[in-house]
Structure formats: C-alpha cells, structure tokens
Amino acid sequence: MDTKSGRKKLFIETLGCQMNVLDSEFVAAALQERGYELTPRIQDADVILFNTCSVRQHAEDKVYSALGRLKHRKRRQPDLIIGVIGCMAQKDQKLIFHRAPHVDLVAGPGQLHRVPDLVEQVEYERRRQLAVSLPRNAGPRSRIEESFETFEEYDPDRLARFRTGGFQAYVRIMMGCDKFCTFCVVPSVRGPEQSRPPQAIYEECKRLVDRGCVEITLLGQTVNSYRYRHGDGRVTRLSDLLAAIHDLPGLRRIKFVTNYPRDMTDDLLEAVRDLPRVSPYLHVPAQSGSNAVLKRMKRGYTVEEYLEMVDRVREYVPDAALASDFIVGFCGETEEDFEATCELVRRVRYKNCFVFKYSPRPGTKAYERLQDDVPEEIKRRRNNELLAVQNAISLAQNQALIGRVFEVLVYGPSPAARSRDGSTLQLAGRTHDDRIVVFDGTPGLVGKFVNVLVTAATPTTLIGTTEIERYLPVELLAEPATGAN
C-alpha cells in the first residue's frame, strides 16, 4: 500500500498477443476506477495479476515460474492478492490452484469484466475465486449454448483518463475464433467467433481519436473474417469498417491484425488500396509451405491458393508489406515439407516472419490425434534455418531503403538503447507499412510524426536520422516523404 495516498497498488504483467495487451488495459482501468494505483514495481504491489498466454508451452512455463517466485512473499505478506487471468486461466482452471496454492484468483478471457469484483471478494472473504467460461465442446447442445453466453464481450467504455500512450490504441472488432486449426488452443480459450456491432466499434474509435489517438489497430484472431449481420439483413465487412472510421478527424493510421488467408477478399484489398490512412501492411500467416502439413493443420487452403492470394495482394497493393507466422516441426513434418516452407518464404519475400517451434497443446486436435514426432533439436535447427532465410530477405529489402525518407510515428525510446546524457536518446517508431525505424531524438517526439532519412539497415531495423539536410541536397527535400516498397 502507498502510505502517502493510502491507495492500494496493482501490478499487472502481460504475456502474449495484442489482444492480451488490450485486455490488460481494460482490467487495469477498471481496477484504477475502484481506487487502485498502477505500479511498475512488482515488489510494491498489493495485487499482482498475470495476464497469460496459452499458445505455446513456453509462455505457460514463464507464468508458473513467476508464480513460484512469489510463494515466499505470499507467506510473509498474506494480504497480497495474486491472480492469474487470460488464456492460461481458462485452459488450466483449478489446476493453477493445485500447482500454485498461493494463487487467489483465476479468471478466463471471457470473464474479465468480473475481475474487480473478484479481487474485492478475495479481499473481504479471503476465499479463492475461480471464474471461467464453460468448455465449447462440452456434450449436449444446451451446454454449447451456455458456453457461448459465458464468453462475455469485454469492451467497456474506454476509461480515457487511465490510458497511457494515448496516441495509439488497439480496438477489438472480433472475439474468439471458429477456425479450429488443429495445433491452436485459441478457439477453446477465447471462445466462439463473434463480431462486435459496427456502431460500437465506430464510437469507440471516435472517442479515442477525439482524445488524440492517431493510430488505431483493429484486432481479431481472424480480423478479416469480420462480418456483422444487421437486423435488416445488411452485412458490414471489415472493408466497410475501415471506410467508416477512415475520415475521423485526427486519425492518421489504421492497421488490422491478424488476417486469415482465405478471407483476403477483393473488397478488403480495394479498401487498403483506396484508403490512404490504412497501412499497406498485411499480416497473413501461412503456417507452412507444404500441402501435406497444411492439411494436417486443417488450415483450409493449399500453398497454391495462398500464392494466388499473395498475387492478388500484389495486384491491388503493389507496395504492400506482407508478414507471416510459421510453425516448424509440426507433427509429421519431413525435411521436404520444411524445404517447401523455405521455398514459400523465398517466393513471397515477406517483410518479416514470426517462426515458432511446434508446441503440443492439450485440448487441441493435433494433441489428441497426431504424434509430436519431430525431435526438439530438429525443430530448433529448422527454426534457425527459416529465420536465416527470412533475415536475408529482410536485410536486402531494408538495405534498398537506405537514402529514402519516411514518415515515422514515434512509439517511444528504443528498447535496445538507453539515454546517453538524457537530452537525446534513441527513439523507435514505425513507417506507414510497419517497418521499425530507430534514430536519435528528444523524448518530446514520442507520439509525433517525424521525417526520418534511412542511413543504415539491419534485418529487423532501419537506422536513420532526422537531420535530413545534413545528408540530402536541398532540392530533394522538396519532395514529400514517401511510403516504402
């Protein structure tokens, strides 16, 4: 407790995807509304929450070891409230209390609206609280209906005064996922796919922009599958949403993640082409370049269909920056399958790729029916090899941008470099097509757009300067900053 203000302190650690970052923002705001004060120091906290991820084993192990480190502290400080929320809470449920008996609170992603009440209940009743949604595949239809209801939409009115970094925001447009890729735990922990009403999304975006937000990222597990059917039968698609929010005064950039390859429709690509504030950045995970593997993953497309989609993207938006996720070492993946994945990466020439070693997840079809038969050291080698293929492509793309000027939205101090004398520091931001740029500047630039000349490049980062006139002849400066290829 803060002895000066008398307010209790909340520490919240977020693992996993942007959806979790957004959920943490909501939970933190709701608790601040109840009088808690947010602290960045876990040792000062009266309430510690872990907002967890279940996508891979590693993310879960991290939480269990963090919980392990709190065991002695809880003994010394019995009033300390420790909570596990998010996807691992939904997946492991009571098991968390068995593995970490000092945990007080477990709440799944469909129950986050209850967290402030649950914290108070722990405080006053001194009893453990568990709030999870019913399983999706639990027997008779009535249970399934129930489970549908128990995954509550959690997009409360944004409590603006508690927002940090107000120049950018995530906005959820869909919850859950119904694709059931065989490796993926998301459909069971995040529940059924549900699109939010467009009016609610528009109003949320408007409120954010009215308060100075310049970049909005629309979120969904398969964001381009967004479809909202109105009472009169009209359907709103993602392309309609983009058009609706595009002209909000003050909004400068709109992004959307993550895309499902089969739903990359022409209307969406037209919207990306025609709406200048929509970033020409498309994260469309392929997962594998082998048809046999894609089939076992139940991804619902072949490599040929994926490549057709890429061709269509290039046709509509020639300068689009594509990104992907890949899983290496999935059940039954042969050397030839893996080589096919490398080939796909070489063909598409992504801006960047996230590569993951397959991690079997209880509750998924692959876990139940397929053997995790690729040894760990082979997974690791394939992971490194695929990254090396992508890194060479990213480096070549980035080096080709040296000498060009980009409009960069400054996100904050670069995580890699600290302030030297305090007056200037290395800042990091992104171009319109999502490339990371670092350059020296003053802290006051955070949240602003600046023109940066690229002077050097690594596979992941463009390195630049704002002192453009020192490098470029004046006549070139007359040209406006451009987007990347």
Q: Is 184 in the site for ligand SAH (CB under 6 A)?
A: yes
> In this complex, which beta carbon is closest to ligand SAH, that of residue 50 or of residue 358?
358
Among 36, 228, 260, 439, binds ligand F3S (CB under 6 A): 260
Residue 96 binds which entry of ligand F3S, ligand SAH, none, with Cβ cut-offs from 5 to 8 Å by kind?
A: none
Q: Is 19 in the site for ligand F3S (CB under 6 A)?
A: no
Q: Is 281 in the site for ligand SAH (CB under 6 A)?
A: no
Among 327, 340, 387, 462, binds ligand SAH (CB under 6 A): 327
> In this complex, which beta carbon is closest to ligand SAH, that of residue 216 or of residue 462?
216
> In this complex, which beta carbon is closest to ligand F3S, that of residue 90 or of residue 222?
222
- Name the minimum Å distance from CB 232 to ligand F3S: 30
- Residue range at the interface with ligand SAH (CB under 6 A); choices 181-189, 315-323, 338-346, 450-458: 181-189
Among 186, 353, 450, 462, binds ligand SAH (CB under 6 A): 186
Q: In angstroms, what CA-CA distances link 221 with 21, 134, 192, 259, 365?
A: 14, 20, 11, 8, 19
Residue 187 binds which entry of ligand F3S, ligand SAH, none, with Cβ cut-offs from 5 to 8 Å by kind?
A: ligand F3S
Among 15, 169, 186, 427, binds ligand F3S (CB under 6 A): 186
Among positions 54-83, residues that touch ligand SAH (CB under 6 A) are 55-56
> In this complex, which beta carbon is closest to ligand SAH, that of residue 80 or of residue 378?
378
Among positions 346-375, residues that touch ligand SAH (CB under 6 A) are 356, 358-359, 361
Q: Is 378 in the site for ligand SAH (CB under 6 A)?
A: no
Identify the CA nearest to 412 among candidates 423, 425, 428.
428
Among positions 222-251, residues that touch ligand F3S (CB under 6 A) are 222
Q: Is 111 in the site for ligand SAH (CB under 6 A)?
A: no
> In this complex, which beta carbon is closest to ligand F3S, that of residue 83 or of residue 329?
329
> In this complex, which beta carbon is closest to ligand SAH, that of residue 8 or of residue 190?
190
Backbone torsions φ then ψ of 99, nearest 5 degrees: -75, -30
For ligand SAH, the binding residues (CB under 6 A) are: 17, 55-56, 183-184, 186, 221-222, 258, 285, 287, 325, 327, 356, 358-359, 361
For ligand F3S, the binding residues (CB under 6 A) are: 177, 179-181, 184, 186-187, 221-222, 260
